Amino acid sequence: MKKKIVSAGLLCIFFFSPGVLSAETAKVITKENALREDCRFLSPVKARLKYGDQLEILSGDADWFNARYKNKKGCIHSSAVKEKKISLAGLAAPGSEPATEDEVALAGKGFNPQVEDSYKNRHADLDFRKVDSIEKYRISEEELFTFIRKGGLHQP
């Protein structure tokens, strides 16, 4: 009996302690980003990332995470990802969950390109091509690196 209780207790601890089964993953939440060699911006890029890419978080602090993406290890800024703890897999009753934020996003709901298109149709006077041109305008990382260095500014 004692043995049974102890086993049941251990089973409870096993299932109800999130730390036991959890693994840290993170999803890229920016349109584009990069896994970098060192934990600083403008460091060489090891992998290009896009929205929704999944990373395994190895370690990190408030600003930077050491992460793995498709067998490549590198750094990504914490503001570029949303952490996700995977735990207690399979315990939730299948099909019982409401739409999560991710599901909604994946289903293309919310304020999204379709909503923007409808808004554009209602406001033909607004020129979104100019907005696109502002977003497409890029300065290279090399240019920015030189600009910062020549100005005696801090490398981010």
Give the footprint of other proteins on this chain (CB under 8 A).
4-6, 8-9, 11-12, 15, 29-33, 41, 51, 77, 79-80, 88, 91-94, 96-101, 103-105, 107, 109-116, 118-119, 122-123, 125-128, 130-131, 133-135, 137, 139, 143-144, 147-148, 150-154, 156
Minimum CB separation from other proteins for residue 82, in Å?
A: 9
Query: By C-beta, is 71 or 121 nearer to other proteins?
Result: 121
Minimum CB separation from other proteins for residue 98, in Å?
A: 5
> How many other CB atoms sit within 10 Å of the CB of residue 40?
13
Six-digit token pair at 113?
Answer: 């390109």
Minimum CB separation from other proteins for residue 62, in Å?
A: 9
Query: By C-beta, is 61 or 134 nearer to other proteins?
Result: 134
Cα angle 111, 116, 49; round to 5: 65
Minimum CB separation from other proteins for residue 152, in Å?
A: 3
State the DSSP H helix or E strand holding residue 132, giving kind and residue range, or none if neither. Answer: helix 128-136
CA atoms within 13 A on the CB side of 130: 3
What CA–CA distance (Å, rounded) separates 56 from 65?
10
